[in-house]
Amino acid sequence: MRYLPHTQEDIRTMLAKTGQAGLDDLFNIIPDELKTREGLNLPEAMSEWDLNAHMENLASANIACRDYKCFMGAGSYDHFIPAIVPYLISRSEFSTAYTPYQPEVSQGTLQGIYEFQTMITELLGMDIATASHYDCGTALAECALIALRKNKKANKIAVSSLVHPSHRQIVETYIQPAGYEMVEIPRTREGLTDLAALEAMEGIAGVAVQSPNFLGNIEDLGAFRKAADAKKILFITSFTEAMAYGLLKNPGAFGADLVAGEGQSLGIAKTFGGPGLGLLAGTSKMMRNLPGRFIGKTKDANGDDGYVLTLATREQHIRREKASSNICSNNGLNAMTACIFLATVGKIGIREIAQQNHDKAVYLKAGLEKAGFKSVFNGPFFNEFVLKVPDDFKQKRAQLVQNSCTFAGLDLEPCYPDLKGHFLFCATEKASKQDIDDLVKEVA
């Protein structure tokens, strides 16, 4: 829709209705000391066509993933999105900011979220899933708060140092104002969370482990379940690559109490790192503790299926000072996108996509090792892995961006200073054999 400015006649008519003499009078409620005195430093007005050309010129400075080859992951992954997904999600029935409080006018949206919850529980092997959250970091923070509230004798939550750095920061931001503390579990030389260090910790209410972890390695979740049982604490798992569970055993198979994850891989474009899709699931025992909302299935007066918002407390929406969480909405449009994506590819499709991710990552790693890169960890991984790069790789990486539109790996030093000279590489189903061969040839 084009922007149509108000005419002077429109403005006079509105001011006559409001009883104001001029537009400035509308802002009399704002104290003078808070008003700008110098005005806004805006450029001269442009014609519609000049403005379009100006905006296109600005946009051309950005890099679109569809034009580049991306071998980076680290929480945001480049996957194919079936054409049916953006087509359906752009329909007016779905592309709305409306929050479905009223079931009589929201059956389509409510059913979509109900189906989304169902598919997420199947993917993760859990009993229940919420209607989604902002991103994995906020979902993980909610899990930490649940563990701390349930264990009155502890004021610490143990979080693996191999949980995504941004997500650890979000957890700390959430729990510190409430008087709680986050303690990090160190990593081993094998790039895994140190189980022995966890076993030595005292006064913790729960433990959170990411698998595959930030370095791409697959954790032994069964061992952490046993450690949590020995300490009688909650076992929380997280993930950034939802596609991994097309191949790997899901968190439910290891007895996780709570699962927080990122659903961006499920049909949502990267879009400069956002927006994401927070997935939050748990066992049935956690039902009354999980924040956000659930959609339930029921029968109407005629005996037909109906969908309603259920298990939502008044505190969450009205008495907010007593709420267990500051989240009372869900990431509805992205959740619907993930729902359509999962319904489109199905169980077999998810497994095939996951297999391609793994196989191409293995092929990429082997090629880079032949080109002089050194393997760091020998354990199993999904579609990400760490390699020690040659001394001149940073310069070569910059040249690859400029010359062949290729992003080759993520420098790990800013997140883990002791891993200077190490890069995290990723390959998804979008990486063709030719793309991988070209990259290996360039860096060899």
Residues near 401 by beta carbon (within 8 Å), at least 6 away in sequence: 407
pLDDT digits (tens, 9 = 90+) for 8-28: 999 999 999 999 999 889 888
Same domain? 209 vs 275: yes
Same domain? 97 vs 118: yes
Q: Token digits for 145?
A: 């708060």
* CA 246 – CA 316 distance, rounded (Å): 34
pLDDT digits (tens, 9 = 90+) for 330-348: 788 899 999 999 999 999 9
Proportion of the chain above pLDDT 90, given as a percent: 74
- Residue 370 is given by DSSP the state H
User: Can you give the residue range of the structural domain that contains 91?
Assistant: 84-341
Asked if residues 124 and 271 have their Cβ atoms less than 8 Å apart, the reply is: no
Decide which of 314, 341, 368 is a domain's last residue: 341
Domain of residue 369, CATH code: 3.90.1150.10
Closest CA to 364 of 404, 423, 308, 318: 423
Same domain? 334 vs 380: no
Widest pairwise Cα distance in the chain: 78
Domain count, the chain: 2
Asked if residues 167 and 142 have their Cβ atoms less than 8 Å apart, the reply is: no
Within-domain flag for 13? no
Closest CA to 166 of 89, 91, 246, 264: 264
User: Ranked by mean pLDDT, which of 175-179, 290-294, 355-359 comes out on top?
Assistant: 355-359
C-alpha distance across the termini of the chain, in Å: 51
Within-domain flag for 59? no
- Residue 22 is given by DSSP the state S
Within-domain flag for 9? no
Within-domain flag for 431? yes
pLDDT digits (tens, 9 = 90+) for 218-248: 999 999 999 999 999 999 999 999 999 999 9
Strand order of the β-sheet with 204-210 is 128-129, 278-282, 258-262, 234-239, 204-210, 156-160, 181-185
Question: Is the bond preceding residue 103 a cis peptide, omega within 30 degrees?
Answer: no
Decide which of 341, 360, 376 is a domain's last residue: 341
Within-domain flag for 5? no
Strand order of the β-sheet with 374-375 is 374-375, 384-388, 422-426, 410-411
Within-domain flag for 56? no
pLDDT digits (tens, 9 = 90+) for 364-411: 999 999 999 999 999 999 999 999 999 999 999 999 988 888 999 999
* CA 197 – CA 369 distance, rounded (Å): 32
> Is the pLDDT reported for residue 415 higher than 80?
yes
Within-domain flag for 244? yes
Cα–Cα–Cα angle for 120, 122, 127, rounded to 5 degrees = 85
Within-domain flag for 220? yes
Same domain? 287 vs 358: no
- Residue 255 is given by DSSP the state T
CA 191 from centroid of its chain's CA atoms: 23
**Which pTM does this prediction carry?**
0.86
Burial of 305 (0-12, 13-18, 19+ CB in 10 A): exposed
Decide which of 341, 374, 406 is a domain's last residue: 341
Band the pLDDT of 1: cuts 50, 70, 90.
Answer: very low
